[in-house]
Amino acid sequence: MASRVHCKIESRRGRFFLVDQSTNGTYVTLEGDAELMLKREQIMLRGRGVICLGHPAGSAGAEIVSFASK
């Protein structure tokens, strides 16, 4: 469900943004918030959270990337 150029993370003025470039979407959960599905959208990564490519983090076989910012 992930593509070769699924998403990218950009640094802008000391902050990090996840930019989805995929067909199937990127699922992002920021600590304390509900999971969001991004499709050709972007989000600022803050605090702690998880990123899952192509399907929700709770799906069977989901490959999850965790992140934490200062």
Concatenated DSSP letters for 7-56? EEEEEETTEEEEEE--SS-EEEEETTS--EEESS-EEEE-SEEEEEESS-
The confidence score (pLDDT) of residue 67 equals: 97
For residue 3, pLDDT beyond 90:
no
For residue 70, pLDDT beyond 80:
no
Between CA 62 and CA 70 the distance in angstroms is 26
Between CA 19 and CA 13 the distance in angstroms is 16
Return the higher-pLDDT residue of 69 and 60: 60
Classify strands 48-53 and 26-30 as parallel, antiparallel or unpaired.
antiparallel
Task: For residue range 15-65, list pLDDT tens digits in order.
Answer: 999 999 999 999 999 999 999 999 999 999 999 999 999 999 999 988 899
For residue 14, pLDDT beyond 80:
yes
